[in-house]
Copies of this chain bind each other. A is one copy, B any other.
């Protein structure tokens, strides 16, 4: 029953019970942490055979000695393995080091300071450089913009992806908007999958926006579904091809949540012209990526079928954790008016939307009883959620038992904050 339909007496009774439960929980001295999207120990162990997998053979298929210098854009067999993840061809992908975040930062820094097409094209030549940030979104994307002095404009995230009406309007009006951040499949944090129409409209932005506009398409969870048959993402590359906008999209991916987080392989895909320009820029910074680790990944994952089989093992480990949270939310909060969420079919997050103005309060209530949640606001540019209502839940890392305990504590904090707020609104706080 929706709390707005409950009597003050009923609310007050509930509040008393909730406060008692909260005190009991406080006495338990919990130490739970649902803050970051880290794979669990059982997940990373799925790739333990990586170390030693080469069996003493350090040759790539083209004869390259992977132990030595050379090659800025990655091994051919690594390109062949990972290109399908981004729907790219092998001449449209570059295989880098261990971090897709590094590739993203580098692309932004390149476009801003050096220029995608020479110094004349550098975004930094303009006094103002702006970026569109669908909210809620990923704090590390926003941090790159903030660190590099790029002004962020929020646009709403719908269940179909960014609100493209808003995006197209802004982009058409303001040529200083130079890009947009996207996590198109199992969006961080809402878990939505961008619709076919959204992807097509993102691909078309390159026609409508100012020069050298970039869709930063962080496909971090490209193959990270929890269920067979989870919604697929259409290929943005194919739409770009159709619209003649291949230069306007950089796609990113990595094996951070396929093999080892922090010791995997990252990659990016874009037009051959963008790749050539970016590779030249990379050449000033590096003599090349770790090709030994690329070869290890090829040996472990082999091909698309190998990746699928590997990801099914991840899904088997992640599913119970997600289902524990979602079942608890459903049982305790559905139709209560105390919050909303999607049930993601993949990715690493559940985004919980509280009643307006309660996210910080819920996080703070949880913290006080030993339950660490991602700071409220982290999902928004500059760390400010104007409606103070988004909380990101990341159930992958803790044990199933801890995930369940956290979910229980979380709903208690949500109820406590919501009922207090409702009573307050009725002048009975």
Give the distance to chain B from A355, nearest Cβ to Cβ, in Å: 32
Give the distance to chain B from A378, nearest Cβ to Cβ, in Å: 14
Q: Does the CB pair B67–A260 fall under 8 Å?
A: yes
CB neighbours of A45 from chain B (8 A):
67
A253 CB within 8 Å of chain B:
no
List the number of copies, as a whole number: 2
Q: Does the CB pair B97–A284 fall under 8 Å?
A: no
Question: Residue A38 contacts which of B52, B69, B261 (CB distance < 8 angstroms)?
Answer: B69
A interface with B by C-beta (< 8 Å)? 36, 38-39, 41, 44-45, 47-48, 50-56, 58, 65-70, 97-99, 101-102, 105-106, 109, 113-114, 140, 143-144, 147, 256, 260-263, 281, 284-293, 296
Q: Does the CB pair B56–A44 fall under 8 Å?
A: no
The 8 closest A-B pairs by CB, nearest first: A52-B52, A263-B292, A44-B67, A105-B285, A67-B260, A147-B284, A69-B261, A263-B290
Answer whether A285 and B51 are a contact pair too, CB < 8 Å, given A39-B68, A44-B65, A114-B147: no
CB neighbours of A48 from chain B (8 A):
56, 58, 67
Nearest chain B residue, comparing its CB with the CB of A66 = B263
Chain A interface helix/strand/loop/mixed: loop
CB neighbours of A36 from chain B (8 A):
69
Expressed in whole angstroms, the Cα–Cα distance for A147 and B109 within the complex equals 13
CB neighbours of A58 from chain B (8 A):
44, 48, 51
Nearest chain B residue, comparing its CB with the CB of A58 = B48
